[in-house]
């Protein structure tokens, strides 16, 4: 087998593992939002207690992702991309599987019934959050370093498109299979991925860094000591912030917005998640390949960000007619929000080998964490203006900040990645 054939085989296997890992990652990330009401009611909580507990559990998962975003990123730059890719998959898969047994009294996971169910649920959501934080960044970093500078955008796009299928799967499985079975399915899918570990090779750039005679600071240290590097990371996170505005507010808080519209019945969260991510599958593919065709990540992000803003306006106007129209507008919004994968690609292409895993892993988790201030802003504004105007004003602020940040980014397309951040 020639070196070129070996290189192509290694790249394809890395794309396959990263894509399937991201599918299970997104499945678990979205699943809690789909099943939290059913699961907490089944564990004996009334509606008021379920609402407050659900927010607490979600926040624990987000905190876990923030912790994991730093931890896995640094480990990726210190220990290698593959160790993080599979370590994160193992952690969130085991947490998912055990989550299926919370409060159980029968079956193979009945031992989980000996723990307080809400405490166990909380611990597992935090642990799952830590695990979920690592897979995408490690996978994208590995694939970007194994692929040619002209082809890496297409390879990462495939990862994003396959991964988003996990959200659609979570929406349907969570609605129809029951919450325990849904968690168990996620755990089994993740553990089954470990069979693909054989044959996945480490990034040549990382190996060269390991074998080099010079010693360089790695992980988070160069980011903390250089404002230029830190500001580069912040700008990329701000560009992605509107994506999680659409998810956290227009999808996650749709019942509140629908109530403000006077809509009855309100759209179902599980249905909206499935519709949003169905659109996002095609949006990921379109934005990724558009950035390849234009040879510009910045132009592709600008086009799709504009489309996302217009789709948000569609949700708040046409969506007020009925749950059907709200869902249809949500699918359009999901499509244009698919520039997510271009944001992650940009992060991977914008930093040196010694911190690439750290920033590529931190970026999606910092964007997800932006949902906290965004939802807090929405709640504060909606308290005096109502849900529709609260969403409109909050969204306008998010898009304005993101647009300014985008104008400040340099174009990373086609950049040679084999360099060190001093």
Instruction: Look at residue 237 in the predicted model and tell me its pLDDT.
Output: 95
State the average pLDDT over residues 289-308.
Answer: 95
Instruction: Look at residue 199 in the predicted model and tell me its pLDDT.
Output: 67
Calculate the average pLDDT of the chain.
87
Least confident range of 49-63, 171-185, 233-247, 405-419: 49-63
3-class SS of residue 199: coil
Position 5 pLDDT exceeds 70: no
Crossing angle for the helix pair 227-245 and 340-349, nearest 10 degrees?
A: 170
Position 2 pLDDT exceeds 60: no
Instruction: Look at residue 350 in the predicted model and tell me its pLDDT.
Output: 92
State the average pLDDT over residues 306-317.
Answer: 95
Burial of 59 (0-12, 13-18, 19+ CB in 10 A): middle
Instruction: Look at residue 33 in the predicted model and tell me its pLDDT.
Output: 78
Instruction: Look at residue 240 in the predicted model and tell me its pLDDT.
Output: 95
DSSP 90-152: HHHHHHHHHHTTTT--SSTTGGGGGS-HHHHHHHHHHHHHHHHTTHHHHHHHHHHHHS-TTTH
How many Å apart are CA 330 and CA 273, to the nearest integer? Answer: 9
Position 3 pLDDT exceeds 90: no
Instruction: Look at residue 342 in the predicted model and tell me its pLDDT.
Output: 93
Instruction: Look at residue 124 in the predicted model and tell me its pLDDT.
Output: 94
How many Å apart are CA 321 and CA 28, to the nearest integer? Answer: 32
Instruction: Look at residue 134 in the predicted model and tell me its pLDDT.
Output: 86
How many Å apart are CA 395 and CA 311, to the nearest integer? Answer: 11
State the average pLDDT over residues 9-28.
Answer: 85
> Could you report the per-residue pLDDT of 221-273, keeping only the tens digit for each?
888 888 999 999 999 999 999 999 998 889 888 888 888 888 888 887 778 88
Instruction: Look at residue 290 in the predicted model and tell me its pLDDT.
Output: 94
State the average pLDDT over residues 135-153.
Answer: 84
The helix (H) or strand (E) run that includes residue 286 is: helix 269-294
Least confident range of 57-66, 209-218, 298-307: 209-218
Least confident range of 145-159, 297-311, 388-402: 145-159
How many Å apart are CA 28 and CA 132, to the nearest integer? Answer: 8
How many Å apart are CA 334 and CA 279, to the nearest integer? Answer: 5
How many Å apart are CA 283 and CA 340, to the nearest integer? Answer: 9
DSSP 153-167: HHHHHHHHHHHHHHH
Quickly state the pLDDT bin for 147 (edges 50, 70, 90).
confident
State the average pLDDT over residues 369-392.
Answer: 87
The pair of structure tokens assigned to 116 is: 């307080």
State the average pLDDT over residues 342-369.
Answer: 90
Q: Which residue has the higher pLDDT, 206 or 89?
A: 89
Quickly state the pLDDT bin for 6 (edges 50, 70, 90).
low
Burial of 228 (0-12, 13-18, 19+ CB in 10 A): exposed
Which one of 140-149, 250-259, 354-363 scores highest in mean pLDDT?
354-363
Angle at 380 between CA 377 and CA 386, to 5 degrees: 110
> Could you report the per-residue pLDDT of 82-115, keeping only the tens digit for each?
888 888 888 999 999 999 999 888 888 888 888 8
Best CA proximity match to 40, nearest among 27, 26, 55: 55
The pair of structure tokens assigned to 185 is: 């399915």
Angle at 16 between CA 13 and CA 22, to 5 degrees: 140
Best CA proximity match to 301, nearest among 236, 364, 367: 236
Full set of structural domains in the chain with CATH? 1-196 (1.20.1250.20), 218-422 (1.20.1250.20)
Instruction: Look at residue 214 in the predicted model and tell me its pLDDT.
Output: 62
């Amino acid at each position: 087998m020639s070196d070129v054939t070996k290189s192509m085989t290694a790249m394809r296997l890395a794309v396959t593992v990263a894509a399937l890992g991201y599918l299970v990652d997104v499945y678990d990330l979205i699943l809690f939002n789909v099943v939290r009401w059913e699961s907490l009611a089944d564990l004996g909580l009334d509606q008021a207690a379920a609402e407050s507990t659900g927010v607490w559990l979600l926040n624990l998962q987000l905190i876990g992702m923030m912790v994991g975003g730093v931890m896995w990123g640094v480990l990726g730059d210190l220990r290698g991309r593959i160790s993080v890719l599979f370590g994160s998959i193992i952690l969130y898969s085991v947490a998912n599987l055990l989550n299926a047994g919370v409060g159980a009294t029968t079956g193979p996971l009945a031992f989980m019934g000996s723990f307080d169910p809400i405490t166990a649920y909380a611990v597992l959501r935090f642990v799952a959050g830590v695990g979920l934080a690592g897979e995408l960044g490690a996978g994208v970093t590995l694939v970007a370093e194994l692929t040619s500078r002209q082809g890496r955008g297409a390879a990462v796009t495939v990862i994003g498109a396959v991964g988003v299928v996990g959200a659609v799967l979570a929406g349907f499985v969570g609605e129809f299979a029951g919450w325990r079975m849904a968690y168990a399915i996620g755990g089994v899918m993740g553990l089954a991925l470990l069979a693909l570990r054989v044959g996945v090779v480490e990034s040549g750039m990382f190996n060269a860094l390991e074998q080099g005679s010079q010693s360089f600071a790695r992980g988070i240290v160069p980011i903390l000591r250089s404002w230029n590097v830190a500001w580069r990371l912040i700008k990329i996170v701000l560009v992605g912030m509107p994506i999680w505005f659409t998810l956290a507010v227009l999808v996650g808080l749709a019942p509140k917005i629908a109530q403000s519209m006077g809509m009855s019945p309100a759209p179902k969260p599980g249905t909206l998640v499935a519709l949003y991510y169905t659109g996002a599958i095609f949006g990921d593919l379109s934005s990724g390949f558009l950035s390849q065709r234009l040879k510009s990540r910045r132009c592709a992000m600008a086009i799709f960000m504009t489309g996302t803003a217009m789709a948000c306006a569609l949700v708040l106007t046409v969506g007020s007619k009925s749950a059907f129209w709200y869902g249809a507008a949500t699918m359009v919004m999901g499509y244009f929000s698919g520039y997510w994968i271009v944001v992650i690609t940009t992060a991977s292409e914008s930093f040196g080998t010694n911190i690439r895993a750290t920033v590529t892993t931190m970026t999606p988790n910092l964007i997800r964490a932006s949902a906290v201030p965004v939802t807090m802003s929405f709640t504060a504004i909606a308290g005096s203006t109502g849900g529709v105007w609260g969403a409109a004003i909050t969204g306008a602020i998010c898009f304005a900040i993101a647009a300014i940040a985008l104008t400040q980014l340099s174009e990373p397309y086609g950049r040679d990645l084999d360099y060190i951040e001093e």
